[in-house]
A and B are shown apart, each in its own frame.
Chain A
Amino acid sequence: MAYMHIGKDFVPPDVPGKVTGRIKYAEDYARDGMVYARLLTSPVPHGRVVDIDASAALAMDGVFGILTADDVYPDGEPQSPGLKVLTNEPTLMGEPILAVAAIDEKTAEDAIAAISLTIERLPFVLDPLDSLQEGGENAYNGGNTFIFREGFAEEKWTADQVASFRSGSEPTAEALQSWEYGDLAAGFAAADFVHETTFSTAGYPHMSMEPRSAMAYWENGKCYLHGTSQSLSAIAEPMAAIVGVPLEDFVFINEATGGGFGQRARAGSIPSMAIPAKLSQKINRPVMMRVTREEEFTIGGARQGLQGWLKVGFKADGSMSAMDMYCISDNGGKGGGGDANSAAAGVSALYQTEAMRFRNTSIGTNTGHRGAQRGPGENQIMAVMAPIMDKAAESLGLDRLEIRKLNAAQNGDVSGPRSTPFTSAYMPEALEQGAAQFDWEGKKSRARQTNGSKVRGFGIGQGYHNAGRSGMDGIIRLMPSGRLQIHNGVGNLGTYSYASTSRAAAEVLKMEWENCDVVTGRTDRHLPITSPQDGSNSIFTNTRTCFGAAQDLLAKMKEIAAMDLGGDVADYDVDGVRVHQIADNTVGMTYAEVAQRGMELGGKFSGESDLPEELNTLTALSVSRLAGSALMGIYHDPRHSNNPPGFTVTFMEIELDKETGKFDILDLVTIAECGTVVHPQGLANQLRGGAVWGIGLSALERHLYDPQNGLPASSGFWQSKIPTYLDTPAEIGTGWVDLPDPENPVGARGIGEPSMGAVSAALNAAISDALGGHMFDAAPVTTDMIVNHIAGISEDATPLAQNNFRG
């Protein structure tokens, strides 16, 4: 289909501000009379605050006030494992206990040094399996796990059960969570190749470039909060609740966000923004709270680590007949996350497993706050699975590409425990396109060729993530000036989906993009509830809402024209400037005239009546405040059917130096299968960025804690080692299948998460290939692990270790 905007590049309106430094992040704002907050954080990984004596601090010159957990939670802290605004019961080192506001940061830090904190040190634990073992310590005060609707609980295995698992056997304890489908026993009975192994994947921090600094002030009873998020509108209501202010008196301001990756999507994952808001309320001054890199490491989120066992069977033709997976998920100190479940569902989707069982138990440790991080679960497990796919191919005498095509998801396929159909799926096409672009047939014979100490390795990776929501709202306005204002609450953190999804509205109304404004950046610009820019959701979800709102507006434009100019609604069309009769286009009204007329008519035309009944709370509030200001298009998106997938494929060639364990990526091609392409440059950026993240997952990133004291040993960019220019290839090849999805009006689906998983999988497979098929069953595979393997040394001094060196 020929589109005016969809599939075309454009300059998102915030890009000039990013290259000039003009665009403002939360920390760049200032306010008359603003004071500065600093945090006193927990010095122990698990403790209980006994007493806080701040009298000396409060007597210091330039100190304006203190905020403690008792101020925030006068009725006691919520008994749940999630992050608190402030806490008297820290369960990880560095958790904020109190904040002090002062004339400047140094004075605030001097005041904190003058505070006498008495804290009871409680036992801590860093490895979920250590906590699971009888007699092991519990990370939380009420146990070592949290059961939904039941509360804290204690889960323990015998020492033999833990030891057996660590030594490579299937766990024998009953899991807290499970699902299965198909006949597992029959699947394994039909298998000609069965692989069974334990595996581990590391936890590591999100490390967004922008620390989660925030500034707040109160004016005329309203709270204005400058913060950082993956969605202005999805954050607003729950953050207002955390601050303790009615939604109508809360303004969230967030023009740009310096990275989120899953941990700024929900208010509950970033409650620290309430600290300056509540402190400002208490001392009646604007408060800036600048968050340091170390604090960002602590409260900024981390990927869940997995300790797992899996058994997978393949028939002689290469089809995956059965998969049995058991995970222990590291919930960290403030925990939560669904990585294991997503990992299992991802295997089901990507490899079309005929029968499957999934079991999981989530256990807390006194380590970083866990939660969703780019492709949670799927991206870790794909790194583990890719070398297994290669081993199965080799054992069954199949080509590595062919075994993947044989198991690939196609239109009409289903996945997961509920056998949910895909909205569309073209994985075989993506594999073929990637193979052609990479020249798989021409290159694959070079696998394992050596040159001195260096050896070539090839890998094919696949990525998947469920990539689309519905049930959100759209608001657009046709102004008396003739301009279109598209209200969009998606966060602005670099995918540019806040702008690219808005173009679906311009598409419907055939308007030039220069005549459109994206209205975003602060909630008092009256935004609809839109999907956060998380989970690869915003492209699918918000093209639906923008398209729907534009359809509503278009219908109203035609109705007004028919009313004033005669004829029937069906007699009219639009051309981007005028609504006119199809038979005689000289009979019509300009967009400006029809907007003016809509305002005069009022009622449903200007948002004053006949609103969709299902509008979300924030949207209804926004519409009420915009009513009468323009001719309005208002839309509530109904629930869609089935599972809109994002799929990716990566082909990679590496050269690994067996003397150092280091490798260079010689070629990397990654292909997206995400429906119709909305914004090619944005998609290419997601593929490239996902590739960098995939390299981090499979080769570099892990956080480490000192086992004696529970101290984080990797709170910086280098210690946790996010990939740099020199860790990534100088060029990353990209491509896309570009076939439309029927559940989206412009055919689009998301891609941000799986762009990482395919690369992490391809890299692990390539490393394994270079080492003659050796499988580490882990991510990351670090240089020390490679060198140890080549030297014949076991890399598993503590098998399945979490939050520590694996070797």
Chain B
Amino acid sequence: MNPKLTRRRFIKGVIASGAAATSTTIWYSANGQSRPAGAVERMIRININGQMRNVDVAPQETLASTLRYKLGLTGTKLGCNRGECGACTVLVNDVPSYACSVLTHSVKNMRVESVEGLEAANGDLHPVQQAFVDELSPQCGYCTPGQVMSAVGLLRSNPNPTREEARQGMAGNICRCGSYDSYLNGVMRAAQIG
């Protein structure tokens, strides 16, 4: 067994990782990333989907990694893990951001929203999500959470975009299935109903 995995440290990980995490992600959380020499691993609080969450975050850890592997929010996808595809797009203070290219420590005083945070408490879909269903915007669906978050961010800053403005606003998200036209239909429908 890894000598770093003490019972005390394991229990600390359980407390840190919150209710949504599975036991496996707890295991990962407690042992996930070794500390660089001289660095201090920190327990931080971040605002995820309106809830303050305590997380044990390594200095070099990306927001995508924290969301997926510490908090169990696997709706945020890793398509490239290097800032090319947008599948990991989340909102940071309402601004669409690539979670694979944001260090978690850099957002500890900010509002982070992932796709899991969009539905209303009664289960109603967000207007963008509903519009994407109505327009059958997704194909394989792997890029869809990122497309949803970019569309939500776009419509918050520009509630009534032209189709060209929507095209420009969504341009940071790649869809290999080529469903761009259907996503734009969804954005325009969401703008109408939103």
A residues within 8 Å of B by Cβ? 9, 11-12, 14-25, 27-28, 30-34, 61-62, 103-104, 106-107, 207-211, 256-261, 286, 290, 292-293, 493-496, 681-682, 684-685, 688-693, 716-718, 722-726, 728-732
Contacts and interface: CB of A to CB of B under 8 A. Distances in A.
A493 B138 contact: no
Given A15-B133, A61-B2, A494 B139 contact: yes
Contacts of A18: 138, 141, 144
Given A104-B32, A209-B175, A62 B2 contact: yes
B79 A293 contact: yes
Interface of B: 2-5, 22-25, 27-28, 31-34, 68, 72-82, 84-85, 87, 114-116, 118-119, 125, 128-129, 132-133, 135-145, 148, 163-164, 167-168, 170-171, 173-182, 184
B85 A34 contact: no
Contact of B171 (A11, A258, A681, A726): A726
A681 B25 CA distance: 38
Contact of A104 (B31, B118, B178): B31
A209 B142 contact: yes
B140 A209 contact: yes
A33 B27 CA distance: 7
B142 A210 contact: yes
Main secondary structure of the interface of A (DSSP, over half): loop
Nearest to A61: B2
Contact of B180 (A32, A681, A717, A725): A725
Contact of B178 (A17, A31, A728): A728
Contacts of B144: 18-19, 21
Contacts of A685: 136, 139, 177, 179, 182
A726 B116 CA distance: 28
A15 B175 contact: no
Nearest to B164: A730
B140 A688 contact: no
Given A25-B77, A61-B2, A692 B180 contact: yes
Given A21-B76, A293-B80, A730-B164, A15 B178 contact: no
Contacts of B85: 209, 717
Most buried by A among B3, B175, B179: B175
Nearest to A288: B24
A690 B179 CA distance: 9
Nearest to B5: A103
A691 to B, nearest CB: 7
Which of B82, B128, B177 has the largest number of chain A CB atoms within 10 A? B177
A175 to B, nearest CB: 34
Nearest to B73: A21
B66 to A, nearest CB: 14
- 6 smallest CB-CB distances across A and B, nearest first, come from A21-B75, A692-B178, A258-B142, A494-B139, A18-B141, A689-B178
Contacts of A494: 138-141, 177, 179
B141 A688 contact: no
A731 B176 contact: no
B182 A725 contact: no
A551 B171 CA distance: 48
Nearest to B149: A21
B179 A34 contact: no
A20 B140 contact: no
A731 B163 contact: yes
Given A209-B176, A259-B176, A293-B82, A104 B33 contact: yes
B60 to A, nearest CB: 9
Given A16-B125, A20-B115, A730-B163, A688 B143 contact: no
17 contacts: A14-B141, A15-B136, A15-B141, A19-B128, A19-B133, A19-B138, A20-B75, A25-B77, A27-B74, A62-B2, A103-B31, A259-B176, A494-B140, A692-B178, A718-B84, A726-B167, A730-B164
